Structure 1
Amino acid sequence: MSPGSESPILIIGTERSGSNLLRLVLNAHSRITIPHPPHFMRFLAPVAHRYGDLAVEGNRRRLVEDALALLERHPHPWPHPVDADRVVDEAKPTLFGVVAAIYDQHRAAERKARWGCKSTFMVNHVDDVLADYPNARFIWLVRDPCDVASSAKRSVFGYCHPYRMARLWREQQERGRTALAKWGPEVVHLLKYEDLVSDTEREVARLCDFLGERSETAMLEPHRSPAAQETAALSRSWRHVGEPISTGRVGHHVRGLSESERLLVDKVTAPVKVSLGYRIDPRSEFQPDPSRFDVALRSALLRLRVESRSIREDRNCARRLRRDLYVRLLRCVYFNPGSGRSPGGSHPDRAWCERGIASRSGR
């Protein structure tokens, strides 16, 4: 194996791009484990500065406690417990150092050589990861933004409104492109969803070459794994990972988006979309932008629809809502000037935060 073969693997890009599929493809490898992500960096990075110097054990411990509280409420439970004391002792004094120590315990429990993270929001933290782990490898997963928006429109994960999802896609692909230009193809591997599902064997082989691993047959049929079946059963938004890999979702926007929505996505994403080899409708240039009021109202209506369906159909709906509530309360505490929170200080509002979460989650 190459010198970097024991390095972490991070899937970056935009949600609804096939990252759950890619996670399970990689997780099927005998040396790689990638649990479903609690999105530690996404939720904790905005408040990380409030923990103070993480070289101080007390500050690091508070961060570890909050990270593990997120993991406890994660809508896709991890199969192994995490020892907080070990994380505090073993973590590098950075936010990603804490995240890596948590993932490494999972790796050890799974008895595999490498761990990975499929939180696509890590596209915002490429430099932070490489500062701690220079041998880290990134898979930049890209999908046609119209299909991304079509999928997100019916999912509780991500923006429901195609205009908002298109803006997010453009921003995150620009970050991915910057990372590839800065660190090169030895560190950042560009993978298109359409290629992965249409020529799986070739793309998996290329992916394994990039990671310094041997391709394994099990990676071509990830739907057969217990991990895939568990994920598919938890949420309607993840149901397709329990099916064989196919091209059936390529071009889904033809049915999932109206013509005006598709033209709007093309307009918002046009320069980046073309640079990645996707076609745009030339009429999109003349598609008017929606007003803020229209976007807000339509977003609320779409969100109401997907939340209602999630309540009826998703086994993990209560856990997801409990997690989301915890994130909001946590940020309220850390951003509230009157909370009494200071770097290295006590947290007088923590009990209130926990009580609020418990009362709203039925605990």
Structure 2
Amino acid sequence: MNARPEDGARRSEGPDGPVLIIGTERSGSNLLRLVLNSHSRIAVPHPPHFMRYLAPVADAYGDLTVEDNRRRLVRDAGLLLERHISPWPHRIDRDLAVARAAPSLFGVVAEFYEQYRQAEGKARWGCKSTFMVDHVADVLAQYPAARFIWLVRDPRDVAASARRAVFGHCHPYLTAVLWTRQQRTASAALARYGPEVVHRLRYEDLVQEPVAAITRMCGWLGESPEPAMFAHDRTPQAQALASLSESWRNAARPVTAASVGTWRGRLGPPEVAQVQAVAGPMMAKLGYTAATGLPAAAVPPALLRLREGTLRAGVEYRSLRRDRNTLRRWWRDATVHYIRARARRL
């Protein structure tokens, strides 16, 4: 890879700042990633969730202005990328990353993405890891021109989707707790940095009025909408992603509003009540109307743990039978535990 230093992760100004999707998983982030990646100027790979997995042990690497410390971090980030459940098609030059990355965890992450962008021949990179909602300040410290798309979806639909997915919590109550926290964090980022930096996009608008929603988003990004963005499902990236996991099967399908309101048939009244008991105030703030006439929503902790374990066991069994990357996902999870344990021993 013949990358020039001036193209690297230290660049922070100008109109080509990165684009990051924030919010909660199962909110349509795969769809939005593929739409953005279909643009001729934006490269958005499937995320290895570097910050999610490495931030808890970031301090263990010590002073990252020290090359040896930075090299150990690059090594572990590279290992995480090697075990990624949706592999990147381009090799990352680790020596270049050590030499060029800013001395922080996000600096290393950004350098990996910059190398991907260069390999794709595009002007700006994007990150689909919705967990970056907790790292907005880290990103802006290095990239003042970064832009964040806060993708919002009805938490009841998020919970209905999550209970069948291999990613995140399965129990609707636990999903609602996570959704509420992440929406509060995103809302605070919008309040702090303003709509020029954080753009709120409702999943329902994206799938019900895709042309209008994508056109508005492009205008906000300073990009021109392109026809390929409205045919993301025909791209090789979409086809490959859909083939890996049942949780991603919709990636290779045209935009559809069929999943809006599916909670009505997938969640029982007690589960809806549990979600609304946690997420109700934020739902109202974001324009989602709560259902009424529901039973009590209390969830005994012991029953919650039992139900979460039962749901998870069913999801994992179905994944083992149907998904192509189940073993790779388990290997990735083991790698995360290994990296964290090794970092803590430093």
TM-score by length of 1: 0.90
Deviations 1:94-125 (A, max 9, x none): 11110000011110111011100000000000
Q: Which amino acid aligns with 1:176?
A: A
Superposed CA deviations along residues 312-358 of structure 1, whole A, max 9, x for unmatched, are 111111111000011112223334xxx3x2xxxxxxxxxxxxxxxxx
Work out the CA distance in 2 between the residues paired with 1:99 and 1:149.
30
Q: Distance in 1 between matches of 2:337 and 2:265?
A: 35
- The answer to whether the aligner puts 1:327 opposite 2:333 as a matched pair is no
Query: Contact between 1:4 and 1:212, CA under 8 Å: does it hold in 2?
Result: no
Aligned-partner SS, 1:221: helix
Q: Distance in 1 between matches of 2:250 and 2:297?
A: 34
Give the Cα separation in 2 of the matches to 1:288 and 1:117: 36
Asked if residue 26 in structure 1 is aligned to residue 32 in structure 2, the reply is no
Q: Is the 8 A contact 1:223 1:244 kept in 2?
A: yes
Q: Contact between 1:5 and 1:213, CA under 8 Å: does it hold in 2?
A: no
Match of 2:121 in 1: 111
Q: Does 1:277 align with 2:296?
A: no
1:296 aligned partner: 305
**Identity of paired residues, percent?**
56
Q: Where do 4+ consecutive residues of structure 1 move more than 6 Å? A: none
State the shift of 1:206 in Å.
0.7
Structure 2 equivalent of residue 287 of structure 1: 296
Please tell me the residue identity of whatever aligns with 1:317.
T
How many pairs align?
334
Tell me if the contact between 2:271 and 2:297 (Cα under 8 Å) persists in the aligned partners: no
SS at match of 1:307: helix
> Is 2:63 aligned against 1:53?
yes
Structure 2 residue runs of 5 or longer lacking an equivalent are 1-12
Q: Work out whether 1:132 is the aligned partner of 2:142.
A: yes
Give yes or no for the alignment of 1:309 onto 2:323: no
- Contact 1:270–1:280 under 8 Å retained in 2: yes
Q: Secondary structure at the match of 2:270?
A: helix
Within 2, Cα distance between the matches of 1:193 and 1:96? 27
Residue 215 (structure 1) aligns with: 225
Question: Does the CA contact (< 8 Å) of 2:45 and 2:88 recur in 1?
Answer: yes
CA contact (8 A) 2:152 2:203 kept: yes
Letter in 1 for 2:310: L
State the match for 2:249 in structure 1: 239
The alignment status of 1:158 with 2:158, answered yes or no, reads no
For 1:255, the equivalent position in structure 2 comes to: 265
Q: Is 2:48–2:80's contact at 8 Å kept on the other side of the alignment?
A: yes
Report if aligned partners of 2:60, 2:343 keep a CA contact under 8 Å in 1. Answer: yes
In structure 2, how many angstroms separate the alpha carbons of the residues matched to 1:256 and 1:329? Answer: 37
Structure 1 segments unaligned to the other structure (5+ residues):
342-363
1:125 is paired with a residue whose SS is: helix
Measure, in 2, the Cα distance between the counterparts of 1:50 and 1:331.
Answer: 9
Question: For 1:180-233, what per-residue CA distance to the aligned partner results, in whole angstroms no more than 9, with x for missing partners?
Answer: 000000000000000000110111111101111000011011101111000000
Displacement, 1:283? 3.6
User: Does structure 2 conserve the Cα–Cα contact (< 8 Å) formed by 1:267 and 1:287?
Assistant: no
Q: Match of 2:319, as an amino acid?
A: S
Separation (CA, whole Å) in 1 of partners of 2:284 and 2:72: 45
State the 1:4 CA deviation.
4.1
Aligned to 1:189: 199
3-state DSSP of counterpart to 1:249: coil
Corresponding residue to 1:64 among 44, 63, 74? 74
